């Protein structure tokens, strides 16, 4: 069938023309779509949409019917890919934005926890503060005992436990504690 016969057959619902259009043109559209990130199902849907568009919007063909179908199918698929790319970019941006907000929130929470702990660390006795700092710095037990005049390692560990307990009590009394640690 000629291009004009195919077009008229499509417009008039001629079964033989429609079958020939499908047998001649669908494989080309399918090949192009699958080569460009699509599936056979995408190609079938796209081909059907193209034929519907031709039926509804094309009154006269000025070039080859085959060329028109292929060109319209390619353009429709490119539009689909553009939309998908935009959607993917938007999703990625939102996910990234959401994770940044979560990260920022976590950082701020950690910062406020640190500030709360720091505030009450300064309320501990000088001995407690020195003991905690020395142990955090990795100073040996023997050196800590010597610097702070503890009689034994056991005394030092008991003092450390008492300092940590006191520090925890001070922090837990603060009104921000529940907000930050719940």
| Same domain, residue pair 25 and 73 | yes
Does residue 99 lie within any of the structural domains?
Answer: no
Q: For the whole model, what pTM was predicted?
A: 0.48
Residue 55 CA to residue 50 CA, distance in Å, equals 9
- List helix spans (H) across 122-152: 126-136, 141-148
Q: Note whether residue 105 is domain-resident.
A: no
Residue-wise pLDDT for 101-115, tens only, equals: 666 667 777 888 888
In a domain, 103, yes or no: no
Same domain? 131 vs 77: no
| pLDDT tens-place string over residues 62-109 | 778 888 888 888 888 888 877 777 666 666 666 665 555 666 667 777
Percent of the chain with pLDDT over 90: 32
CB-neighbour burial class of residue 29 (10 A; exposed 0-12, middle 13-18, buried 19+): buried
Give the chain's domain count. 2
What contacts 160, CB < 8 A, 6 or more positions away? 131, 132, 135
150: pLDDT strictly greater than 80: yes
Overall average pLDDT of the 19-35 stretch: 89
Are the C-beta atoms of 51 and 43 separated by less than 8 Å?
A: no
Same domain (yes/no): 86, 7:
yes
Q: Residue 133 domain-assigned?
A: yes
pLDDT of residue 93: 60
CA 117 to chain centroid: 34
Domain hosting residue 139, numbered range: 122-181
Q: Note the pLDDT of residue 13.
A: 86
């Amino acid at each position: 069938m000629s291009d004009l016969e195919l077009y008229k057959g499509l417009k008039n619902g001629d079964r033989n023309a429609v079958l020939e259009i499908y047998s001649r043109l669908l494989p080309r559209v399918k090949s192009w779509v699958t080569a460009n990130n699509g599936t056979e199902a995408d190609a079938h849907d796209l081909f059907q949409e193209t034929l519907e568009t031709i039926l509804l919007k094309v009154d006269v063909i000025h070039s080859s019917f085959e060329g028109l179908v292929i060109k319209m199918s390619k353009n429709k698929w490119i539009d689909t890919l553009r939309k998908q790319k935009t959607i993917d970019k938007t999703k990625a941006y939102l996910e990234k934005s959401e994770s940044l907000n979560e990260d920022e929130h976590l950082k701020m929470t950690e910062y406020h926890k640190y500030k709360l702990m720091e505030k009450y660390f300064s309320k501990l006795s000088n001995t407690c503060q020195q003991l905690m700092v020395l142990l955090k710095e990795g100073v040996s037990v023997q050196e800590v005992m010597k610097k702070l005049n503890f009689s034994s390692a056991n005394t030092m560990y008991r003092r450390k436990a008492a300092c940590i307990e006191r520090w925890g009590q001070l922090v837990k009394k603060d009104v921000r504690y529940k907000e930050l640690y719940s």
